Amino acid sequence: MLVDNNKIDVVSTRDAFSKLGIGTTLHFAESESEAWSLLQGDNKISPTPKIILIDINENGLSGIDLLHKIRETPDLKSILVFVITNTDNDENKVAALNLNIAGYIRKPIESESNIDFFSILNDYWNIIEFTSEKK
């Protein structure tokens, strides 16, 4: 799942998945509330995503509240969350790291870097093992 309110980044992500032939279903949410609805609300998706990328920036979407909810919900707390950002905000970085994120990553600006970023992420999620049991 990608939580990002930047339409260009969403299109860029779709393009990268397509170019790389990544067959994983990718869900998009433009806001924390939309993401929460996909995770636990009326529009809940199944299966629950194993990895979530959350854009944390200073313009609208902070993502920290969503991270808190994910970490406080037993069925969601094991989701790997990567924070992606194009801002340099130490306060957000510390808050996200304290919520046990898998990584804090600067957003690729150029489309070629975007392809490289998602290629590496795809390799990562293809080698890690997930449990199918709920804990």
Residue 132 placed within a domain: no
Give me 24's structure tokens. 């994983």
Mean pLDDT estimate for the chain: 84
- Choose among 110, 102, 4: nearest CA to 57: 4
Q: Give pTM, 2 decimals.
A: 0.84
- CATH number for the domain including 76? 3.40.50.2300
Does 46 reside within a domain? yes
Q: Are 104 and 83 in contact (CB under 8 A)?
A: yes
| Position 18 in a domain | yes
Residue 29 bridge partners (DSSP): 3
pLDDT of residue 41: 85
The pLDDT value recorded for residue 13 is 87
Say if 133 falls within a structural domain.
Answer: no
Give the count of beta carbons closer than 10 Å to the beta carbon of residue 64. Answer: 18
| 20-70 confidence digits (pLDDT tens) | 888 878 899 998 889 999 999 888 999 899 899 998 875 555 688 899 999
**Domain assignment of residue 122, yes or no:** yes
